Structure 1
Amino acid sequence: MNKYGAECEKRCDARQCSGISTCNHVTGECINDCKPGYQGIDCIQVQCTDGCKPGYREDDCTVKCETGLYGAGCSKKYSDRKCDDNTNCDSKTGECIDGCQPGFQFTDCTLECDEGFYGYNCSSNCSARFCQSEDQCSKIDGACDCLAGYQGTDCTLIKEASKDNDKDTGHDNKDTTIIILAVVISILVVILIIFVVVFIKYRKSQGTNHTDNNVYESNGPTTAHIYDDLGSRNPENFTNHPSSVYYNTSGVSIDASQ
């Protein structure tokens, strides 16, 4: 069996030469190049035709990335990430363990926020701010010029003066309510007083009418008494002197001849 290399430790038939090739006893070189997926002078090194997995490099993808590099073929740099801390970098994914700086996203924090979002992990919505112009929205902090009554870098905080005004408005509303209640109660009291006065007058008028009725009833017997007095006298006096008849309503006998 043909061999090659130092101390002839390599076998010529283990090579992956393309076509028939002689086998140099020193290098084992394949004269017609290598079969697909292999590389090297003697075509025994595996070649990753689809590239290496993240964290590895070289044609055979057997060498790990050096410090400061990560990703497929070790093509990305730690320094390009926007991590929220200075944590060590995973050589395969470059993941930022403690999250991204404001304005960036993805595992390795290399992508800016999508349009309309900003802040840590791109979690804040530009439309939730109170800006004079919606066209201004920094992906890092959402900075813009605020509308009246709002403050903060991203105009999401209500000014203290506005809060005080709200409190004052609340106090004014309470005062107004108290005043309205006082007026209503006063009106009800006045109505009650008027009702009581009218009722008392009504009761008094009823008492007066009752007294008048009693007086009228007491006059009945007095009148009858008058006729009795007159009847006891000579009837001729009444016939001959009709103009001399007097009615005594007080119950005292009156001489008809006077």
Structure 2
Amino acid sequence: MGKDCVEECSLVTYGQNCSKQCTQRNCAGNSSCDHVTGTCVAGCKPGWRGKDCVEECSLGTYGQNCSKQCTQRNCAGNSSCDHVTGTCVAGCKAGWMGEDCVDECSLVTYGQNCSKQCTQRNCAGNSSCDHVTGTCVAGCKAGWMGKDCVDECSPGTYGQNCSKQCTDRNCAGNSSCDHVTGTCVSGCKAGWMGKDCVEACKAHRYGRNCVRTCATRHCAGNSSCNSTGNCDSGCETGWTLDDCTACNSQHYGAKCTKLCVSRYCVGNSSCNSTGHCDSGCERGWTQSDCTVFQEAVKSDPDDSVLTYVGAAVGVFLFVLVLVLILSLIRRRRISERKHCDVGLVSKTRENSQDEGRADDNKYYYVFGRSLFEIKQSFLA
């Protein structure tokens, strides 16, 4: 600088007429300031170019050494391109991340802002995870739809690829429609089987969930066997219901051949399929339906004890009464004999007085005999 241009620019200026400020450069790191060129020794900060790093990147480029292309970003919508960062103002397209949206999502994420988890997809089999769409290569599991299989089947559909219609099921009653299986909560109508009740019964089977076999019916004559199992010409004797599989009200037993009236129940008893008597059997009859006669009915142990005690008491009372009666009879006889003997003695004395001592021996004989008889009666 100076009129004769022999002086270097000051420490903080450089260039033509020392008009440029060293502090206005955009050098990477700390750099000396050459008084002639102002060259940044370590290069420029992102977005700047030139020896002294005072020029912005040319249009369409940005970043370190202006080496990145704005067109290579993956911005959502139209976005300006900042010469320094290349920032996408509206964010990134699905599958990309970073300020300038040039980095793919990590291995376990995908989609807009890389916010979706690959493990939350419902892919059929093992599938790679595209960082943009998360597409399931082999399709979705039953009940799911979409490229990444995270959406449930729409209402009214279910199953693989959501291809089945809930209205095509044959559910018993009203049933919800699970988007995966289409399960009929209350089971199937007669003639249908499977979780979703879309499979018809196989030959020779019928009824709800196809659990009954045509051969177990007891139809009168030959009968066809449709989904309900109804017998065309009614039932054999003893059987009832449309498919003739239960005993009627007058019969019971495995083959409905036993008559309810043939039982010996106590009181009025219902008659179910086993014929069981509600209140037990009449005396002498056994089995649950009271149809087997048992000649020697074993008494209850308590009843036997009571019987023995009663018999013993009865015998005792009988003996006691008999002893009392005999005692009374004996006393009466003794009383009567004493009375007779006293009369006889009195009479003898009168005779003795009249007849004299000649008859004394007779008196004693009669009196002695009387005493002997009394003695014998007492001993008897």
Using the size of structure 1 for normalisation, the TM-score is: 0.51
Residue number in structure 1 paired with 2:196: 154
> In structure 2, the residue corresponding to 1:46 is in which secondary structure?
coil
Which consecutive aligned stretches of 4+ in structure 1 deviate over 4 angstroms post-superposition? Answer: 36-39
Q: Distance in 1 between matches of 2:26 and 2:188?
A: 81
Q: Distance in 2 between matches of 1:136 and 1:55?
A: 37
Q: Which has the higher helix share?
A: 1
Q: CA deviation at 1:15?
A: 6.9
Whether the aligned pair in 2 keeps the contact of 1:150 and 1:158 (CA below 8 Å) is: yes
What pairs up with 1:15-164 in 2 under 5 angstroms?
37=80, 44-144=84-184, 145-160=187-202, 161-162=205-206
Q: Distance in 1 between matches of 2:122 and 2:85?
A: 37
Match of 1:8 among 34, 37, 43: 43
CA-to-aligned-CA distance 1:9-68 (integer Å, 9 cap, x gap): 34233179xxxxxxxxxxxxxxxxxxx8466xxx60011122212221012101111111
> In structure 2, the residue corresponding to 1:73 is in which secondary structure?
helix
Q: Distance in 1 between matches of 2:26 and 2:164?
A: 68
Whether the aligned pair in 2 keeps the contact of 1:54 and 1:93 (CA below 8 Å) is: yes
CA RMSD of aligned residues (A): 2.5
Residue number in structure 2 paired with 1:187: none
Which structure has more relative contact order (CA 8 Å, sep 6+)? It is: 1
> In structure 1, the residue corresponding to 2:129 is in which secondary structure?
coil
CA-to-aligned-CA distance 1:65-85 (integer Å, 9 cap, x gap): 111111122111101111011
Q: Distance in 2 between matches of 1:157 and 1:112?
A: 24
- What residue ranges of structure 2 are gaps of 5+ in the alignment? 1-19, 30-41, 59-78, 215-222, 226-380
* Deviates further, 63-72 or 131-140: 131-140
Instruction: Say if 1:169 and 1:89 are closer, same or farther in 2 by CA, change over 3 A.
Output: same
Whether the aligned pair in 2 keeps the contact of 1:47 and 1:59 (CA below 8 Å) is: yes
Q: Which amino acid aligns with 2:160?
A: Y
Residue number in structure 1 paired with 2:264: none
Q: Distance in 2 between matches of 1:133 and 1:13?
A: 79
Q: Distance in 1 between matches of 2:160 and 2:54?
A: 60
> In structure 1, the residue corresponding to 2:55 is in which secondary structure?
helix
Q: Distance in 1 between matches of 2:81 and 2:199?
A: 64
CA-to-aligned-CA distance 1:68-116 (integer Å, 9 cap, x gap): 1111221111011110112111111000011111111011000000111
CA-to-aligned-CA distance 1:171-193 (integer Å, 9 cap, x gap): xxxxxxxxxxxxxxxxxxxxxxx
Q: Which amino acid aligns with 2:194?
A: G
Q: Distance in 2 between matches of 1:117 and 1:134?
A: 16
Q: Percent identity?
A: 32
Q: Distance in 1 between matches of 2:99 and 2:174?
A: 50
What pairs up with 1:242-253 in 2 under 5 angstroms?
none
Q: Which amino acid aligns with 1:96?
A: C
Whether the aligned pair in 2 keeps the contact of 1:129 and 1:155 (CA below 8 Å) is: yes
Whether the aligned pair in 2 keeps the contact of 1:127 and 1:134 (CA below 8 Å) is: no
Q: Distance in 2 between matches of 1:78 and 1:60?
A: 23
Q: CA deviation at 1:148?
A: 1.2
> In structure 1, the residue corresponding to 2:119 is in which secondary structure?
helix
CA-to-aligned-CA distance 1:118-151 (integer Å, 9 cap, x gap): 0001000000010013432111111012111110
Whether the aligned pair in 2 keeps the contact of 1:51 and 1:72 (CA below 8 Å) is: no
Q: Distance in 2 between matches of 1:94 and 1:136?
A: 31
